Amino acid sequence: MSEVRKAKRRVSVSPGESVRIIRELQELSQNQLADLAGMPQSTVSAIERGRVNLGVDRAKTLARVLKCHPAVLVFPGWDTDAESAA
């Protein structure tokens, strides 16, 4: 292996989609996530569909349950390389 190249981002992901992706990777249903987060399943569904803003408080709650940093949910498309060069 002579050279390692960074993977290119190919799709843009919304905060709601990031919640859904991480939830599905952990094999949780919306009902299970809602129960663990202490919120209605309809709220989880609305977040995933982009009908309700994720918001800081919900992001913290869901991140705790999904075992990830809240920024992963709130800023899924954040380009750290571009931001550090600015």
pLDDT tens figures, 30-82: 999 999 999 999 999 999 999 999 999 999 999 999 999 999 999 887 766 66
- 33: which residues sit within 8 A by CB, 6+ positions away? 23, 44, 62, 65, 66
Q: Which residue has the higher pLDDT, 6 or 46?
A: 46
pLDDT at 71: 92
1 — pLDDT class (breaks 50, 70, 90) = low
